[in-house]
Structure 1
């Protein structure tokens, strides 16, 4: 995920996060220990053994969960490394105040879910209004 900031910078927010979704087509099944070889048949069928954030299963859970306080403004730079699956990016329990479509300068507002194609990216902004565990 490469982020090119506007010449005047981004509007100020309280927290920024960078998240990349990717998928792995493995010979083994989910959770099998050890190094897993690439499975071309699974890739051709678009049947990944893993769809992960930031390179590994569970990377944004537990002690690694993204943290924010009620009332804070949040910006997420979200990329989809693919190679096959489109991401329907949504934060459960939130509506995005602003979505920078295709990570460009055009914006839409009050969006629940935004599609991010393989190799694509988006930028979303929202403000947490109630205490909760928000899930990607």
Structure 2
């Protein structure tokens, strides 16, 4: 999970929308085929895959479609959006990036006391860590959230 603890003195500047996104990876054996020909929704954990750091899936908010077709993150033109982004790991560092935008403010490692990074494109978020990013939506369109270790997109690390 991910929580934000506001500092006693001072806080982040207000924004129009706030979202929480959590990246995690899962290590499992292939699903079994059921008698009806479908794949079982249950899978077995694979310790060997975890040791090799070869995840079966890398996802945002728990499953492949969590921030795509099921619940895309929405904003209007000229709105400011804040994303609290965490990496549950357990093994992979995330290279968090949004295709089509940059981070107008980047609070690395959740540090809201130091001045933010400005106009950053990609940020590294190690397992067990988090970051906070702000964006200004300046043109209409679909902005794609990815782990810029881009082949993880095919494992589910994508959102809109």
Q: TM-score, normalised by structure 2?
A: 0.80
Which secondary structure state, in structure 2, belongs to the residue aligned with residue 115 of structure 1?
strand
Residues 94-113 of structure 1 show CA distances to partners (whole Å, capped at 9, x for unaligned) of 11001001111332111000
Choose from 119, 127, 131 the match for 1:122: 131
Aligned length: 135
Please tell me the root mean square deviation across aligned C-alpha atoms, in Å: 1.5
Q: Which has the larger radius of gyration?
A: 2
- 1:2 is displaced (CA, Å) by 1.7
CA distance in 1: counterparts of 2:11 and 2:132, whole angstroms: 14
Which secondary structure state, in structure 2, belongs to the residue aligned with residue 121 of structure 1?
strand
CA distance in 1: counterparts of 2:111 and 2:11, whole angstroms: 14
CA distance in 2: counterparts of 1:33 and 1:71, whole angstroms: 45
Which residue is 1:54 aligned to?
61
Which residue is 1:20 aligned to?
22
What is the correspondence of 1:102-117 to structure 2 with a 5 Å cutoff? Answer: 102-105=109-112, 106=114, 107-117=116-126
Find runs of 4+ consecutive structure 1 residues off by over 2 angstroms. 6-10
- 1:34 is displaced (CA, Å) by 1.9
CA distance in 2: counterparts of 1:99 and 1:9, whole angstroms: 14
Whether 1:79 and 2:86 are equivalent positions in the alignment is yes
CA distance in 2: counterparts of 1:75 and 1:92, whole angstroms: 16
Q: Structure 1, unaligned stretches of length 5 or more?
A: none
- 1:10 is displaced (CA, Å) by 2.3
- 1:74 is displaced (CA, Å) by 0.5
Which residue is 2:7 aligned to?
6
